[in-house]
Amino acid sequence: MTTYNFKKLLQKSGWLTHVQVMVDDHGLITSITTSEDENGFSPTEHSIAIPGFQNAHSHAFQYAMAGLAERHEGSENPDDFWGWREAMYQLALSMNPDQMEAIATMLYSEMARHGYTNVAEFHYVHHDKNGKPYANLAEMGTRLIAAAQTAGIGITLCPIFYQKGGFGQEPNDRQRRFISPTIDTYLQLLESSREACKNYEHANSAIGIHSMRGVEPADIAEIAQSGPQDIPFHIHVSEQLKEIEDSIAYLGKRPVEWMLDNVALNERYHLVHATHLTETETKGLAQSGAHVVICPSTEGNLGDGLFPLRKYQQEGGKWSIGTDSHVGLNPLEELRILDYGQRLISHKRNTYFSPQQGDGGTYALEMATLSGRKAMNNDEEEYFKVGTPLNAFVVDGTHPLLAHCSDKNLASTLVYASDSAMQKATISHGKVIVENGKHACKDEILNEFSRTMNTLRSR
């Protein structure tokens, strides 16, 4: 049994004061008790706890190239998404399973340092360097699960169905490690991945479709209808303008338009990016109950564009955040970038609509938490509850901007005015895995990562 004392703890209904949380040996909460007495639970460290963040979209291997696609000398390096993609292909072709695990472990430990306690891993590097399946179809996925276990966070493994090189096009040779040619081969990969998740108690799985350009649309509809119905369904969609142009040429419809017409979207669907939507698509997507996963730092880095958040929220749309290519890993920064992009195009400041009048910070944390949990197949709506794991991001309540902050201003201060100096700890499944900016296994994780990077020589 472990006891944690907090000066403040955020629940969906609001802030609790002077809180004691007890967890059992499995990291499950056994009690949540409050005291009116300031010294009732001796919160000597004046810690403020919010729910651990959910990273709803990750390509772990791309962490190894973060910051490396910013040079654009000459015609060999076009400065758009498609030029960046070629650099990504080269990295994907170079690494072996040990290296994948080392990179992912470093990444996941850094996610934990920034307050993430769960990640949805959109995983498509499946095969060996020649494009042949490993004896264990989920070999690479197994390494990602092991990485999450070492880092101490939960993982939802989304093995990706990747079949085409574009709308109506065969895959190119640089995509050879990604490809499942048929629905049956993909479902075999998915089943192998679900078996691999049994090796770690905090792992589960979800369906993943790379995109409408990456899988024949009829096959997407078939998997949506006939595939497992008890797990989330993740798909890239409408990220790039060229993708939309190609979709119209091939299908006569835009990607989200086609999805709305051909797939019975509901709350288990998580459409990643969805950057370029018409008003009709925006309204239809919100009303379907599906979620959008927005990755502000990556979308900004790639020049994707800005998701129509204001209209989507007006229609009741739900959204979560992800770090995608990992050029940014701070969830509070992702929320700020998302908001500020909307402010810049609307010339208004009330971007996050909320049940609490004007309380954008509280609403942003609610969306990131609850929609993010849905992406992980977690339907729990209370932030901290007896019988559930204690997953928390803890900040230092003695920081000058927080020490005398009222409850009504606390969430927005965290979202809009926080920095790394405020970060105190990350608790995952009842264990402190990061304290004072250092992961509990940092040294060994960093050593393996350094060996990998020295071997790959990609940086």
**Beta carbons of 200 and 149 less than 8 angstroms apart:** yes
Active site residues: 273, 324
Most confident of 41-45, 75-79, 154-158: 154-158
Angle at 270 between CA 264 and CA 273, to 5 degrees: 120
What are 384-422's pLDDT values in tens digits? Answer: 999 999 999 999 999 999 998 999 999 999 999 998 889
User: Does residue 358 have a pLDDT over 80?
Assistant: no
pLDDT in the model for residue 44: 47
Percentage of the residues of the chain whose pLDDT score is greater than 70: 94
d(CA 266, CA 375): 12
In degrees and rounded to multiples of 5, residue 451 shows phi and psi of -60, -40
Q: pTM for the full model?
A: 0.95
pLDDT in the model for residue 99: 97
Percentage of the residues of the chain whose pLDDT score is greater than 90: 86
User: Does residue 70 have a pLDDT over 50?
Assistant: yes
Closest to 41 measured CA to CA, from 33, 51, 30, 31: 33
Tell me whether strands 116-123 and 392-396 are parallel, antiparallel or unpaired. unpaired
Longest CA pairwise span in the chain (Å): 68
Residue 314 falls in which region: left (phi positive, over 0), alpha (psi -120 to 50) or beta:
alpha
Closest to 6 measured CA to CA, from 44, 55, 61, 54: 44
User: Does residue 102 have a pLDDT over 80?
Assistant: yes
Can you read off the two tokens belonging to residue 323?
């770090």
- Residues 317-336 have a mean pLDDT of 97
- Residues 369-382 have a mean pLDDT of 98
Give all domains of the chain, ordered by start, each with its CATH number. Answer: 2-51+384-443 (2.30.40.10), 53-375 (3.20.20.140)
* Other Cβ atoms within 10 Å of 9 Cβ, number: 25
User: Does residue 86 have a pLDDT over 80?
Assistant: no
What are 164-192's pLDDT values in tens digits? Answer: 999 999 999 999 999 999 999 999 999 99
User: Does residue 42 have a pLDDT over 80?
Assistant: no
Lowest mean pLDDT among 140-144, 265-269, 333-337, 355-359: 355-359
- Residues 35-47 have a mean pLDDT of 63
pLDDT in the model for residue 90: 84
What are 177-234's pLDDT values in tens digits? Answer: 999 999 999 999 999 999 999 999 999 999 999 999 999 999 999 999 999 999 999 9
User: Does residue 41 have a pLDDT over 80?
Assistant: no
Can you read off the two tokens belonging to residue 160?
């990706």
- Residues 91-112 have a mean pLDDT of 96
User: Does residue 120 have a pLDDT over 70?
Assistant: yes
- Residues 247-270 have a mean pLDDT of 98
Which of the four pLDDT bands, split at 50, 70 and 90, describes residue 88?
Answer: confident
Lowest mean pLDDT among 39-53, 276-290, 359-373: 39-53
pLDDT in the model for residue 89: 83
pLDDT in the model for residue 241: 95
User: Does residue 249 have a pLDDT over 70?
Assistant: yes
d(CA 263, CA 324): 25
